[in-house]
Structure 1
């Protein structure tokens, strides 16, 4: 059996094309989220006499003579429609599926290709101010989840892409939003105000903190020296008599 865990999505689509081209069968492409559920619905009418679902030509579940048997994966089979729901999806569930359903003596085949992927994480927005004062906003998200689409909304209207360039004439109070999505999920970054680009970043805060600490240390040292000097002076001063 072919290992489909890390198969490139383009390869899965090629497999689907080859399988669908091999015979006169209905072919469907489906997507599922890791840890979630997905439902595969064969387009058949009538009550099935028997049902067989296969993954990579290996049996998944079988219904025959009013008896249901599972061979792999977790899920639910609707014996009245042939609909298969796979649960607690893992990337190992990715690959080609086939339903063979017997209705009134006719065998109906439906082929699917399932791609299981991670949900996108919450994106973050960063900015960079160029010498000409133009601002580049970047929407960053974990790329390991596969192809991710990023979109922007703001005073300049909707924009698609990882980055957006803001004119220097744009008001600092302008607010931008970034959304990242894939086939199974969508997440948005917290709103970003343009004036935040000019807020002190970590690189500029460090020297300030160091300067404050040095100043405090100098004051403490001077205070200690003053106390020591005063105590030494006392030893040389005459004791006043009453």
Structure 2
């Protein structure tokens, strides 16, 4: 692995560490844009070189060969098909034409993709209440699309839709998005109405069990009384 040797310079500016998040399988670019004309660019991960440009050509090291790209004009490093092993502390050091050396430090955390969202709905007063949930450790962007009203964009997983604005046949699609990853799930508002009329699935199951128990108890009593009458 290539180790970084200090570069002599007349002055050095160190920018504090910034936390970044990427998703497995995405292409990830570090948010840098060097405004000064660089003469030398070096990227390291956990103090090991991953990419270096010295004014002629770019050299890539270790697992970054064939899966990364260094923009020589602005210093931006892009990693293709991000993997869990790409997590770590990255440092960009560049030397400007004024012989000033600057450092930018980033901590990259790689997250698994969000799960497929689950949608549910119920009725509250004069509105349908739509809920969308997904398993992911960071805040998600939510977009609701209904086939009868304009697109609704929310950053929360729950929306209220007035009954007068939609029909029972309306279908709602929830889109979740983080970075470049987007997933969706669909639900029909008829499910809300069926729950309103017949209660929730759990309530209907519980009521069914109670009814079955009562029927069995009545049948047992009838059999007992019948046998008692015969024996007497």
TM range (shorter): 0.5 to 0.7
Deviation of the 1:146 alpha carbon:
3.9
Bigger radius of gyration, 1 or 2?
Answer: 1
TM-score (norm 2): 0.57
Deviation of the 1:35 alpha carbon:
1.5
Preserved CA contact (<8 Å) 2:143 2:175: yes
Aligned to 1:97: 90
Which SS does the other structure have where 1:189 is aligned? strand
Deviation of the 1:53 alpha carbon:
0.8
1:182 to 178, 181, 206: 178
Aligned to 1:163: 158
Preserved CA contact (<8 Å) 2:84 2:110: yes
Task: Confirm whether residue 77 of structure 1 aligns to residue 73 of structure 2.
Answer: no
User: Structure 2: where are the runs of 5+ without partners?
Assistant: 1-12, 209-232
Task: Confirm whether residue 152 of structure 1 aligns to residue 144 of structure 2.
Answer: yes
- State the Cα deviation string for residues 62-113 of structure 1 (Å, max 9, x = none): 3348462514434123445433221221123233311111222221222233
1 CA distance for matches of 2:176 and 2:110?
A: 18
TM-score (norm 1): 0.55
Task: Confirm whether residue 116 of structure 1 aligns to residue 106 of structure 2.
Answer: no
Preserved CA contact (<8 Å) 1:51 1:62: yes
1 CA distance for matches of 2:73 and 2:153?
A: 46
1 CA distance for matches of 2:153 and 2:71?
A: 43
Aligned to 1:56: 46
Aligned to 1:38: 28
Q: How many residues align?
A: 180
Change (3 A) 1:43 1:26: farther
Preserved CA contact (<8 Å) 1:42 1:99: no
Aligned to 1:127: 121
Task: Confirm whether residue 194 of structure 1 aligns to residue 189 of structure 2.
Answer: yes
1 CA distance for matches of 2:73 and 2:152?
A: 46
2 CA distance for matches of 1:63 and 1:140?
A: 45
Higher share of residues assigned strand:
2
Preserved CA contact (<8 Å) 1:60 1:71: yes
Preserved CA contact (<8 Å) 1:152 1:177: yes
Which SS does the other structure have where 1:25 is aligned? strand
Preserved CA contact (<8 Å) 1:78 1:84: yes
Change (3 A) 1:133 1:102: closer
Superposition CA RMSD, Å:
3.9
2:100 to 76, 98, 106: 106
Which SS does the other structure have where 2:139 is aligned? coil
User: Structure 1: where are the runs of 5+ without partners?
Assistant: 1-22, 208-242
Matches within 5 A, 1:215-230: none
